[in-house]
Chain A
Amino acid sequence: MNRQFSKKMRLVRYSFSEFKLGRQAEMGWDKRLLACSTCLIPEKTRISRTNTLAMYKKLALAIAFSPRMEALIAEARKLISVFEGELVLIHVGTKTPELEAQLDEILSRHCGDLQRIKTIWKEGKPAKTILKTCEEEKVDLLVLGALKKEGLLTYYVGSVARKVIRKATCSVLTLIEPKLETTHFSKVVINGTELDITPRVIARGLKFCQAEKSTQVHILNEIKMYGFQMATAAEGTETEVANTRRKLVQEEINYVQGILDGLEPTDLKINIKVTAGKWAIELVRFCESIESDLLIMGVEQGFSFIDRIFPHDIEDVLIELPCNLLIVK
């Protein structure tokens, strides 16, 4: 461990909370939490503004002339003003004068002041066409609306959006409930599970949070095969077992902390949380329990036949969205 790293480590506050025995331990999410550490890095060096804003220069919005289209456009407009980018609207379907007029009317209401705006009408298979257009236009962030289960308050990602999320080369933001008065992402959860893409997800996620001026940022990491590891460790004495438990938790905190140390300091208040269990499910439960506004995660590449039978963890999130979802690429 280099000196700089250990110096920063001292500035980090940790608190451990052991599993509570009893049935409650399995009920509320907060009780499943193994540890939580609040990370306060005091140097409030502001990250250069252009650096953050340059993140998403070109935003695309897939529109389908649904009742929620206007709200989605309003949300996209807000993101444009946050990132100072340009907007591309993509509609897969036939271009008719009525639709055009309808769109123009909404655009004049929300994006009248916007100089750089482009509407693309294309026919073809929805997912393929959206993906192709995003590539042609060199889009940085694609915004989609989630679907809602009829009569229920749960949202999910439809098959078209799922394909887009998996295959898109740009980041994808799925909004569960776009509003005309727009959403502010103040409580954000970032997936800190040890994956190849995680350092990038955390770096990009924090930039997004800075631009959005989020008030709470939680980075969630999980201990793999916690039960099995602890059962194996139980061949030791009580102290040894407790030490192993602490070590397992600390390792996960260190992983996230290591990534944070490699980034430019921010003025965000970041919490590192450690859980046990399948990470996708834990992420969903945590988002629900704190009523977060946004979940940021990456997506692994490669979906083969096997992946359809044994779906990747991300499917657990897509099947029931706990909140808005930003997939970082």
Chain B
Amino acid sequence: MEKLTHNEVVMLLLQLATMLVLARVFAEIARKFKQPAVVGEIMAGILIGPTILGTFFPEGFEFLFRSYPMSNIALAGYSQVAVVLLLFIAGLEVDLKLVFSQGKKALNISFYGLVIPFAFGFTAPFFFAEFFGFSEGDKLLFSLFMGTAMAISALPVIVRTLMDLNLFKSRMGMMIVSAAMVDDIIGWMIFSVILSFMGKEAGGIGIGYTILLTVGFTAFMVTVGKSLINRVLPWINKSLAWPGGIISLSLAACFFAAAFTEFIGLHAIFGAFIIGIAIGDSEHMTERAKEIIHQFVNNIFAPVFFVAIGLKVNFIANFDPLLVLVVILVAYAGKVIGCGFGALQGKLDKYEALAIGFGMNARGAMEIILGLIALENGLITEKLFVALVVMALVTSMTSGPLMRWAMNKRKEGLE
């Protein structure tokens, strides 16, 4: 078995340590400004990546991230595991029972909150493809991706905002959460279909077949898969070490599912996401175990992954102000109009609708993951990727304050 040399091991550990320390420092700064940790982690990446360290201290950057290619490959493996785990916990967060108990109003919000941003995201690049940096390949695929990128949302940011505003338990809070869950499930399903077409010869795999695989896998996992999980989990909880048993075996299940979907031609993250839903929805998956898995991924894997984002591209050289502005505008317009319209349809008042739109607007980590995969598959340019990351950060950072503003306005109106 091949192994890393002495120096490569030292370098890998040095990279991980640097990334974790800086991620922590910047996450703490972000926290001081009441911003999600992911904002700080991306900043840390920009600082030690080609953007700042690479520009001002090229030797330092070369030494840390360019001197031992094998260490970089190992680091890439770590990031790959991290992204699978991130999608796994995103799946764990989905509570299908909550979704179905919310009824029509929430469905309205999630429907319009998905369709309208998708339409906005699809139309703009379809007609102005060159502006969005599209050069060659399938324009339809590219536009579909942009549609999905606009439709996805970041549940952790949304939940955090709702908790800060004391709205999580309110009817509106539950509606936003369940609508975001539905949008995420459908968003990732669409993305999974798009991904399986990327980098493949046209006609190699039929679209019908891919959709069938995606929907079939999802349906299988949330029905048969879930009932299997429901049988195994009580045994794991009772007979094996706690929380060791449940954590290692649920992560094993996550990797199996990820491997399986990658094998059948869907992306690994899709399998991780769906099995996350199936495991998280089981009543035998205790809240305590979920909390531990969340902590484990959020603090050990996620920081390295998000710092690594900053290592991949030069954020200043690829910063196209006009493109960034347009992407942000399309993102805001799509979600706020879509969700707001859905909320108005559900007989909520004007400011509530606005608050829901702002709440659902947060893209956060999920957008960045989506963008990175598209970048790695050559679907989007570095410029567009930077624009998407900036959009993800801006929407996440403004979500809380804007929602607070809308709710205050509403209160003023009621008084």
Question: Provided the pairs A26-B237, A277-B286 are in contact, do residues A229 and B168 lie with their beta carbons within 8 angstroms?
Answer: yes
Question: Provided the pairs A22-B242, A23-B242, A26-B237 are in contact, do residues A32 and B286 lie with their beta carbons within 8 angstroms?
Answer: yes
Q: Using a Cβ–Cβ cut-off of 8 Å, how many residues does chain A contribute to the interface with B? A: 39
Instruction: Say yes or no: B159 contacts A27, CB within 8 Å.
Output: no
Instruction: Say yes or no: A278 contacts B31, CB within 8 Å.
Output: no
Query: Within 8 Å CB of B295, what residues of A?
Result: 231, 234
Q: Does A25 reach chain B (CB closer than 8 Å)? A: yes
Query: Within 8 Å CB of A307, what residues of B?
Result: 100
Q: Does B238 reach chain A (CB closer than 8 Å)? A: yes
- Per-position binary interface string of chain B over residues 285-321, scored 1 when its CB falls under 8 Å from any chain A CB and 0 otherwise: 0111111001100100000000000000000000000
Instruction: Say yes or no: A227 contacts B156, CB within 8 Å.
Output: no
Q: Does A312 reach chain B (CB closer than 8 Å)? A: yes
The distance from the CB of A119 to the nearest CB of chain B, in whole angstroms, is: 40
A window 228-257: CB within 8 A of B:
228-236, 244, 251
- Per-position binary interface string of chain B over residues 5-41, scored 1 when its CB falls under 8 Å from any chain A CB and 0 otherwise: 0000000000000000000000100010000110000
- Per-position binary interface string of chain A over residues 1-40, scored 1 when its CB falls under 8 Å from any chain B CB and 0 otherwise: 0000000000000000001001111110000100000000
Q: Does B283 reach chain A (CB closer than 8 Å)? A: yes
Instruction: Say yes or no: B168 contacts A278, CB within 8 Å.
Output: no
Q: Does B410 reach chain A (CB closer than 8 Å)? A: no
Question: Provided the pairs A235-B160, A277-B283, A307-B100 are in contact, do residues A26 and B289 lie with their beta carbons within 8 angstroms?
Answer: yes
* Stretch binding the partner chain, chosen from B91-99, B116-124, B133-141: B91-99
Residue picked from B163, B174, B237, B287, most chain A C-beta under 10 Å: B287
List the A residue with the shortest CB-CB distance to B238: A27
Q: How many A-B residue pairs have CB under 8 A?
A: 103
Q: Does B101 reach chain A (CB closer than 8 Å)? A: yes
Q: How far is the CA of A19 from the CA of B100 in the complex (A)?
A: 29
Q: Does A281 reach chain B (CB closer than 8 Å)? A: yes
Instruction: Say yes or no: A230 contacts B237, CB within 8 Å.
Output: no
A window 55-76: CB within 8 A of B:
none
Q: Which of B93, B96, B237 contacts A310 (CB 8 A)?
A: B96
Q: How far is the CA of A232 from the CA of B101 in the complex (A)?
A: 23
Q: Does B243 reach chain A (CB closer than 8 Å)? A: yes
Instruction: Say yes or no: A316 contacts B288, CB within 8 Å.
Output: no
B window 71-106: CB within 8 A of A:
92-93, 95-98, 100-101, 103
Q: How far is the CA of A230 from the CA of B293 in the complex (A)?
A: 12
Query: Within 8 Å CB of A26, what residues of B?
Result: 237, 242-243, 246, 286, 288-289
Instruction: Say yes or no: A231 contacts B290, CB within 8 Å.
Output: yes
Q: How far is the CA of A19 from the CA of B291 in the complex (A)?
A: 12
Query: Within 8 Å CB of A310, what residues of B?
Result: 96-97, 100
Instruction: Say yes or no: B283 contacts A231, CB within 8 Å.
Output: no
Instruction: Say yes or no: A251 contacts B169, CB within 8 Å.
Output: yes
Instruction: Say yes or no: A232 contacts B242, CB within 8 Å.
Output: no
Q: How far is the CA of A32 from the CA of B288 in the complex (A)?
A: 9
Q: Does A194 reach chain B (CB closer than 8 Å)? A: yes
Q: How far is the CA of A314 from the CA of B46 in the complex (A)?
A: 50
Instruction: Say yes or no: A309 contacts B287, CB within 8 Å.
Output: no
List the B residue with the shortest CB-CB distance to A230: B291
The distance from the CB of B359 to the nearest CB of chain A, in whole angstroms, is: 14
The distance from the CB of B246 to the nearest CB of chain A, in whole angstroms, is: 8
Q: Does A185 reach chain B (CB closer than 8 Å)? A: no
Query: Within 8 Å CB of B246, what residues of A?
Result: 26
Q: How far is the CA of A53 from the CA of B182 in the complex (A)?
A: 47
Q: How large is the interface on B (under 10, 10 to 19, 20 to 34, 35 or more residues)?
A: 35 or more
Instruction: Say yes or no: A231 contacts B291, CB within 8 Å.
Output: yes
Q: Does B241 reach chain A (CB closer than 8 Å)? A: yes
The distance from the CB of A105 to the nearest CB of chain B, in whole angstroms, is: 46
Q: Which of A27, A236, A244, A276 contacts B31 (CB 8 A)?
A: A236
Instruction: Say yes or no: B294 contacts A227, CB within 8 Å.
Output: yes
Residue picked from B27, B238, B286, most chain A C-beta under 10 Å: B286
Query: Within 8 Å CB of B156, what residues of A?
Result: 228, 231-232
List the B residue with the shortest CB-CB distance to A20: B288
List the B residue with the shortest CB-CB distance to A25: B288
Instruction: Say yes or no: B159 contacts A229, CB within 8 Å.
Output: yes
Q: How far is the CA of A83 from the CA of B243 in the complex (A)?
A: 49
Q: How far is the CA of A227 from the CA of B241 in the complex (A)?
A: 20
Residue picked from A228, A236, A244, most chain B C-beta under 10 Å: A228
Q: How far is the CA of A227 from the CA of B287 in the complex (A)?
A: 4
List the A residue with the shortest CB-CB distance to B291: A227
Q: Does A313 reach chain B (CB closer than 8 Å)? A: yes
Query: Within 8 Å CB of A32, what residues of B?
Result: 286
- Per-position binary interface string of chain B over residues 235-249, scored 1 when its CB falls under 8 Å from any chain A CB and 0 otherwise: 001100111001000
Instruction: Say yes or no: B93 contacts A228, CB within 8 Å.
Output: yes
- Per-position binary interface string of chain A over residues 286-312, scored 1 when its CB falls under 8 Å from any chain B CB and 0 otherwise: 000000000000001010001101101
Query: Within 8 Å CB of B169, what residues of A?
Result: 194, 224, 251
Instruction: Say yes or no: B283 contacts A278, CB within 8 Å.
Output: yes
Q: Does B408 reach chain A (CB closer than 8 Å)? A: no
Q: Which of B97, B159, B241, B283 contacts A23 (CB 8 A)?
A: B241
Query: Within 8 Å CB of A235, what residues of B?
Result: 27, 31, 36-37, 160
Question: Provided the pairs A23-B243, A194-B169, A224-B169 are in contact, do residues A231 and B294 lie with their beta carbons within 8 angstroms?
Answer: yes
Instruction: Say yes or no: A227 contacts B290, CB within 8 Å.
Output: yes
Question: Provided the pairs A227-B291, A277-B286 are in contact, do residues A300 and B101 lie with their beta carbons within 8 angstroms?
Answer: yes
Instruction: Say yes or no: B237 contacts A27, CB within 8 Å.
Output: yes
Q: How far is the CA of A277 from the CA of B298 in the complex (A)?
A: 21
List the A residue with the shortest CB-CB distance to B298: A231
The distance from the CB of B87 to the nearest CB of chain A, in whole angstroms, is: 15
Q: How far is the CA of A328 from the CA of B403 in the complex (A)?
A: 38
Instruction: Say yes or no: A225 contacts B98, CB within 8 Å.
Output: yes
B window 175-221: CB within 8 A of A:
177
Q: Which of A233, A281, A306 contacts B100 (CB 8 A)?
A: A306
List the B residue with the shortest CB-CB distance to A278: B283
Question: Provided the pairs A26-B242, A232-B163, A235-B160 are in contact, do residues A313 and B291 lie with their beta carbons within 8 angstroms?
Answer: no
Q: Which of B163, B288, B298 contacts A227 (CB 8 A)?
A: B288
Q: How far is the CA of A78 from the CA of B259 in the complex (A)?
A: 61
Q: Does B223 reach chain A (CB closer than 8 Å)? A: yes
Q: How far is the CA of A54 from the CA of B273 in the complex (A)?
A: 53
Instruction: Say yes or no: A229 contacts B163, CB within 8 Å.
Output: yes
Q: How far is the CA of A24 from the CA of B237 in the complex (A)?
A: 10
Query: Within 8 Å CB of A281, what residues of B?
Result: 283-284
Residue picked from A24, A224, A251, A280, most chain B C-beta under 10 Å: A224
Question: Lowest 6 A-B CB distances belong to which pairs?
Answer: A23-B242, A227-B290, A231-B294, A227-B287, A281-B283, A276-B287
Task: Give me 18 A-to-B residue pairs in the complex whose CB atoms sit less than 8 angstroms apart, sorted by A's number.
Answer: A22-B242, A23-B241, A25-B242, A227-B291, A228-B291, A229-B168, A230-B287, A231-B156, A231-B295, A232-B163, A234-B295, A235-B37, A236-B31, A251-B169, A278-B97, A300-B101, A306-B100, A307-B100
**A26-B242, A227-B92, A235-B36 given. 4 additional CB < 8 A pairs?**
A227-B291, A229-B163, A233-B163, A281-B283
